Amino acid sequence: MSEYILLRHRDIPDLYRLDVYQQHEGFNGFYKAVTTMQPDAVIDQVKASGLRGRGGAGFPTGMKWAFTDKKAWPHYVVANADESEPGTFKDREILEGNPFQFLEGVAITAYAVQANAAYIYLRGEFWQIAQQLDQHIAEMEAADFLGEKLFGTGYSLRIYTHLGAGAYICGEETALLESIEGKLGQPRLRPPFPPSYGLFGKPTVVNNVETLTNVPLIIGRGVDWYRTQGTEKSPGVKIFSLSGCVNRPGNYELPLGTTFRELIVRYGGGVPYGRKIKAILPAGASSSLIVATEQALDTPMDYENVPRVGAQLGSASVIVIDDSVSIDWLVDKTVRFFKHESCGKCTPCREGTYWMSHLTHRIASGQGTPEDVQLLYDVARQIKGKCLCALGEFSIEAVMSGIERFKDDFDGRVAK
Amino acid sequence: MLSEKYHQEIQAILAKYPPDQKRAAVMPLLYLAQRERGYITKQAMNEIADILEITSTEVASVIGFYSLYYDEPSGKYHIQVCDDLPCALRGAEQFLARLCENLGIKVGGTTADGLVTVEAVTCLAGCDKAPMFQVQTSDGLAYYENQTVESALELITSWRKQEEELP
């Protein structure tokens, strides 16, 4: 690995300190944007960078910003720091190690859409991180990087933290907005989408922590530099959270297009106890299961290629499954998670995850019948495409791909 | 009364949101109330409703929806062990079972002295350092990672000592 772009604290000690951050290009991008660039020019640069949302959906970031409705005001920026996907722990490292680059990303985004207030929504478990961020925000205010009439211009900005309280669904952007508003974290019917009707009913940009942390160097160092990383269609780096059956779990910042094999074997040190890789969940518990064939292991991890082996890149939370794991057990774990986290608003998800969890439990505990496996698959199929938000849709990915691709594990468990 | 004791903090929380969006302060105010007693009392619920000009039913629904709010007293220290898939692949289920066995409780139970409650929870974003748990007290939250049953029991012993030294 050459130089870190997002996890820069691994190269630069004490980067969480304002003075150290300032000595290492800190706030160059924000200063350049506010004092020399029109807001739309900032959006154009981010469009040209090819940056896509790193929270999971992969939507082009600049395009998302450009959708912000200019007929309705005020505008808001909301940073999604609700990181709760099983297998995902990248935002936490950014927030702890390189908080000012993230905060600068929030500030540039706010300038680009002319928002004067931004909220950082953190999962409630990040209580300590929220306290640190409050401190960092106060330091930025004292140094005139936040507040009124910044850098002698007419632009003003305040950033606030807001703590969630233990609800995976609040990572869904409209549920997150409801939660800030003091309501139950349940997804809204869309359209309208947040760029026209977001926080407090106003146009709002919602971006993930990792996405925002890319922005300062895109503006500070420029698009040409940024596009030297990654591939033509998927530029930039990505933080891969590697977990499960692997010798060296952890966060790995690598160019998009790095193969599964490189991540798992070269960086992650392979699978312990001399076991074999059986399956990969590339996007946490929300993934389809990839069968770990030689061809799959040599697949580049980017937005274009992961779908070719039957899954999505998503948040790039790579969970490695070795051959000691039975997939019916795994599916029982993921289904139980989604049943617990279903917000209850739409019927297919609420009822579907409930009934799936009964079936997966019965199968995994050895009390199921072959008909239960078929019934589980049928229930999953009926959930597909009918939910209000992605949570319900994600709940069936491991179930359907598990039964389709690892049928023997289920058959073995229900055989009389 | 919260509003007397925490007047300044409450004003600072309200100032984070637009004046016509007071309801947005419900979650931070609930944390404030929980810090006071370890759980949210009926009285605090009513008071928050009054401050925000919403009904106490609306406040109660928020408490019920989110898993980090408590409306009844339990152990002073909540050990919340993640046993989701990535942690389970690193032995979290066995860790949880053995920890509870050592404490003589079931998952979700509280020790006889009322000090420790052990719960299984969903992902805490510490997957690479499992077995791991967070400890929730009225003072806040702290993470403990790369744990063994022995290290967890040591931690509990240190809390018991602290409690004994309290006046």
Strands A277-285 and A250-255: unpaired
A124, A46: one domain: yes
Residues in chain A with pLDDT values less than 70: 1, 416
State residue B136's pLDDT score. Answer: 87
Judged by CB atoms closer than 8 Å, whether chains meet at B125 and A127 is answered as no
A121, A157: one domain: yes
A287, A221: one domain: no
A159, A13: one domain: yes
Query: Token digits for A373?
Result: 């496996």
Q: Which residue does chain B place closest to A167, by CA atoms?
A: B66
Within a domain: residue A382? yes
Distance from C-alpha of B83 to C-alpha of B72, rounded to nearest angstrom = 24
Partners of residue A122 on adjacent β-strands: A81, A163
Within a domain: residue A303? yes
Which of B27, B65, B128 lies nearest to residue A249, judging by beta carbons? B128
State residue A416's pLDDT score. Answer: 61
A155, A170: one domain: yes
Within a domain: residue A121? yes
Which of B65, B123, B140 lies nearest to residue A127, judging by beta carbons? B140
How far apart are the CA of A233 and the nearest CA of chain B, in angstroms? 29
Within a domain: residue A2? no
- For A60-203, list the strands marked E by DSSP: 76-81, 117-122, 158-163
- What is the CATH number that goes with domain B77-165? 3.40.30.10
Given 3-state DSSP classes, what are the helix, strand and coil percentages for chain A, each rounded to the nearest 5?
50, 15, 35
Chain A residues lying within 8 Å of B19, measured CB to CB: none
**CATH for A340:** 1.20.1440.230
Is the CB of A176 inside 8 Å of chain B's CB atoms?
A: no
Chain A residues lying within 8 Å of B68, measured CB to CB: 124-125, 165-166
State residue B56's pLDDT score. Answer: 96
A292, A332: one domain: no
A45, A130: one domain: yes
Domain end marker among A322, A342, A369: A322
Domain end marker among A322, A338, A356: A322
Within a domain: residue A232? no
How far apart are the CA of A199 and the nearest CA of chain B, in angstroms? 10
For residue A282, the enclosing domain spans 237-322
pTM, two decimal places: 0.95
> ipTM of the assembly?
0.93
Within a domain: residue A3? no
State residue B38's pLDDT score. Answer: 84
**pLDDT tier, B72 (very low <50, low <70, confident <90, very high otherwise):** confident
CATH architecture of B2-65: Orthogonal Bundle (1.10)
CATH 1.10.10.1590 intervals, chain B? 2-65
Q: Please report where in the chains the tokens 């530099």 appear, as a residue.
A: A225
Q: How many domains does chain A have?
A: 3
What does the angle CA A29 – CA A32 – CA A35 come to, to the nearest 5 degrees?
145
**CATH for A270:** 3.10.20.600
A263, A398: one domain: no
State residue A1's pLDDT score. Answer: 47
Residue-wise DSSP of A152-172? GSS--BEEEEEE--S-GGGGS
Q: Are B77 and B137 in contact (CB under 8 A)?
A: yes
A174, A53: one domain: yes
Distance from C-alpha of A50 to C-alpha of A45, rounded to nearest angstrom = 9
Domain end marker among A197, A226, A255: A226
Within a domain: residue A350? yes
Is the CB of A269 inside 8 Å of chain B's CB atoms?
A: no
Partners of residue A76 on adjacent β-strands: A117, A204
How far apart are the CA of B15 and the nearest CA of chain A, in angstroms? 10
Q: Give residues 341 to 400 of A whose Cβ lies within 8 Å of B.
A: 341, 343
Which of A245, A341, A343 lies nearest to residue B122, judging by beta carbons? A341
A338, A302: one domain: no
A282, A340: one domain: no
A274, A190: one domain: no
How much is the average pLDDT of B57-76? 91
